[in-house]
Amino acid sequence: MALSVENELMSLKASLETADEVVEKTLIAYDKNDYEYETLKHEAFAELNQVIIDLKSLVRQIEPDLNMRPIERILEEFRNVNNGSPNVLLMHKNPKLENIEGRPKTADKNEYLALVFAAVNISRGSERSIEEHISKVAKDTGLSKKEIKNIRTRFLRKGRVSTEYRDLAFRFSNAPKDYDKDQWYKNLINKFNSLKRNWQKP
């Protein structure tokens, strides 16, 4: 097995294991009407989204010339459902295909920027100083310190980012009870870097 294919397979295996655990927790929380469901459902969506992205990456390594647009359309529909927008293809009587030539967005930019905002908050904790934590997140994400400061400004000021993503950023800023601070920080950074890679692909 080629190394690149093996790496993609390992990545898929990891995302499947993580998604399975998070999705089952989310379903249990939903059944029990647990308050944690509101946080877990966003994490479950991100994990399921990542499974499809990893599947797509593995298939692309095996056969680069395959037409990936149907998979990208699945991701796009997934986004529509998550954002409360009308679906275009699934269970729709009169589908209207838009952006037929372009690559669909697989994540709203504000969603992965919310991860950066939260990562700074998790790293900082209750400390008053913030500069060293901005530097840490900059190093781990590849963003500049100026970019991270601008992201924080956007999310801290009402009206600069939609309420949906602002609320998401603050929810991400609180680690779930099953994660310690360092684990949750790594999870946020890994999710950001994964989404950023897929956002930037042509």
Strand, coil or helix: 87: coil
Q: Is 196:145 a contact under the CB 8 Å cutoff?
A: no
Residuewise pLDDT in 10s, the chain (202 residues): 455 778 788 888 888 888 888 889 889 988 888 878 888 888 888 888 888 888 888 888 888 888 888 888 887 777 766 666 555 565 544 444 444 334 434 346 787 788 899 999 999 888 888 999 999 999 999 999 999 999 999 898 877 888 878 888 888 888 877 678 888 898 888 878 876 765 544 3
Cα–Cα dist 88/168, whole Å: 25
